[in-house]
Structure 1
Amino acid sequence: MSKIAFVFPGQGTQYVGMGKELYENNEIAKKEFDKIFSNLDFDLKAVMFEGTEEELKDTKNTQPAIVAMSLVLEKLLRAKGINPDFVAGHSVGEYSAIGSAGFLSMEDTVKLTSLRGRAMSKVSGEVSGTMAAIIGLDSDKIVETLKEIDGVVEAVNFNEPKQTVIAGEKEAIGKACIALKEAGARRAMELAVSGPFHSSLMQPAGQILKEALEEFKFKNSEIPLIANTTAKEITTVEELKEELYRQSFGPVKWVDTITTLKDNGVTTIYEIGPGKVLNGLIKKIDKEIEVINVEKLSDLA
């Protein structure tokens, strides 16, 4: 029997006004958003609906904004009788997947995401790091080439077979981009990000997060979450806490994640949240999987 997966996007998909249409035109959405907003110690509603692009781009705002919108949409999709057999999320999208699987309540999931965003914002401000997208070169070749570069530089996001993101120290990233182009990459371009996310330089953020996890009431899930760092199934609180710690400074194995879903009989994936980034990546990983985007009320209709 064919199975369904819900997947959730990560940072970079945000835009000013995200979620406003849902909030103003759907009673369930308004109620769920209000629950989320009232559980936070800052005005996320103002940032999402009326803020500036600059405010929304700040990691500590971006992350909870994306997860809040994704989880409200997920609730509306379930109200139509569509439920997942598996969940997964790309980078911070993994937090949306946690809420979707029922490891945490919706409002606590966004609160935890907010803590993650702050921790990452703090640590990225203390290290001189960045990221770069490498297009048109196999990930194995990228990993091999990076071994020759002085300084910290690591392959961190395995997005699709010919697109991998690297992260590390600014100087090392600059050298790596030159070396990877010489090795055959079609493009190697630095990204406009505030830190070297998912690299070992972010380990202090993992430590902050590890302590914060103890303040939350998690419960085991009946819906398996496919983990970013291992592409393996997680259903217990213990496994989840270990994944959340490691994921803040570990890789996003998106290609392996989609392969795992396919191997488990998934034929339809709902991409839930802002943008259509994952749709594009999934089609390059496996053309046979049907991907349905859920971002607006018209998508739900």
Structure 2
Amino acid sequence: MKAYVFPGQGAQFVGMGLDLYEKYPEAQELFEKANDILGFAITDLMFEGTAEDLKETKVTQPAIFLHSVIMSKVMGEDFKPDMVAGHSLGEFSALVANGVLNFEDGLKLVSQRAKAMQKACELQPSTMAAVLGLEDSVVEKVCSEIEGIVVPANYNCPGQLVISGEVEAINTACEKLKEAGARRALVLPVGGAFHSPLMEPAREELAAAIEATDFSPPSCAIYQNVPTTAVTDPEAIKANLIAQLTAPVKWTQSVQQMVADGATLFTEVGPGKVLQGLVKKIHKEAETSSAILS
């Protein structure tokens, strides 16, 4: 069975999407439509902007979404998923790819999500850190014993977990995790504590936008970050998408479930190859590839 997976924030690169724009009339049309919807020329930033330009959350999230979704559209008949999943932001790309959201609504929601997250980041100094070489249960235990807000945020693959929270609590956690045997506990250059209780203001704002958007029945199941199991009910998909902002991204568990349900080939659609690497670490026997365009 074919699983298509869609990357999240961090996969952006300078010049992303320019090859699609130049080669495919359909891509050009969708990029121009995106400029109109967003109210600024995101194509200028994607095609000619600096790495610094692309790091801004309100640019990064729509840029990665556009790259992934437009790539799936120009694949045409070659795009035939049996199941889909997306890492954090990538869940929105996956939902357009499997027909739950249309292009316009998906982009509007991603833009609103990015702005809401940016605002939440500005309310309180917060950050994230990558923890390598420890069992998930050890990281969970250390986080639970620290004063202040610090929680597991991204279960990326066995031995790689990202934590999220208040700056001081994260710094304390990094020290404790190193003492507990972590190979590395490294604060990340991010704007805030994504997938933690500190995103509650963003969750409330996005909830209203999601509730007001039409979600259609999907062409295939999506394995969402929150329940990690196959979901096909549009109302359940909405609820999980809202919960995702303050809940951890359970990528390890999602991939394990997809494999258990018959996934044999994981194709990454969008910028980079991060998810292919994670899938291989989660399930060594899995076949992985990048989306191929004709």
Output the TM-score relative to the length of structure 2. Answer: 0.97
Tell me, which stretches of 5 or more residues in structure 2 are unaligned?
none
SS at match of 2:80: coil
State the match for 1:221 in structure 2. 218
Give the Cα separation in 1 of the matches to 2:63 and 2:69. 10
Moved more, 143-152 or 61-70: 143-152
1:164 maps to a residue whose letter is L
Residue of structure 2 equivalent to 1:119: 116
Using the TM superposition, give the Cα deviation of residue 75 of structure 1 relative to its aligned residue in structure 2, in angstroms.
Answer: 1.2
Decide which of 62, 65, 68 is 1:67's aligned counterpart.
65
Q: Does 1:40 align with 2:38?
A: yes
- Give the letter for the 1:56 counterpart: L
CA distance in 2, matches of 1:31, 1:43: 13
Matched length:
294
Shift of 1:152: 0.4
Q: In the TM superposition, what are the counterparts of 1:56-135 in structure 2 within 5 Å?
A: 56-77=54-75, 79-135=76-132
What's the offset of the Cα at 1:266?
0.7
Question: How do residues 163-182 of structure 1 correspond to structure 2 at under 5 angstroms?
Answer: 163-182=160-179
Aligned residue number for residue 52 of structure 1 = 50
CA contact (8 A) 2:72 2:79 kept: no
Query: Can you give the 5+ residue segments of structure 1 that lack an aligned partner in the other structure?
Result: none
2: CA distance between counterparts of 1:41 and 1:157?
32
| Structure 1 position 139 matched with structure 2 position 128 | no
Cα displacement string for residues 28-84 of structure 1 (whole angstroms, at most 9, x for unaligned residues)? 22223233333222221122112232221110110011001100111122x143300
Tell me by how many angstroms 1:108 deviates. 1.8
User: How far apart are the structure 1 equivalents of 2:211 and 2:275?
Assistant: 31
Is 1:300 matched with 2:289? no
Aligned equivalent of 2:209: 212
Distance 1:34 1:42 in 2: 10
Kindly state the Cα deviation for residue 217 of structure 1 after the two structures are TM-superposed: 2.2
What residue is the counterpart of 1:262 in the other structure?
A: 259
- State the distance in 1 between where 2:41 and 2:293 align: 27
Asked whether the 8 Å contact 2:24–2:74 carries over to 1, the reply is no
**For 2:52, what is the secondary structure of its paired residue?**
helix
Of 223-232 and 39-48, the range deviating more from structure 2? 39-48
Task: Verify the 8 A CA contact 1:119 1:208 in the aligned structure 2.
Answer: yes
Matches of 1:150 and 1:250 in 2, distance apart? 19
Q: Give the corresponding residue for 1:151.
A: 148
Contact 1:90–1:228 under 8 Å retained in 2: yes
RMSD (Å) for aligned C-alpha atoms:
1.2
Secondary structure of the corresponding residue to residue 300 of structure 1: coil
Q: Return the offset for 1:288.
A: 1.0
Alignment of 1:185-200 (within 5 A): 185-200=182-197
AA partner of residue 169 (structure 1): E
Identity across the alignment (%) = 45
CA-to-aligned-CA distance 1:242-300 (integer Å, 9 cap, x gap): 11111011110001110111011110111010011011111100011111112xxxx32
Residues 110-158 of structure 1 show CA distances to partners (whole Å, capped at 9, x for unaligned) of: 1210110000001111111100000000111110111211110001100
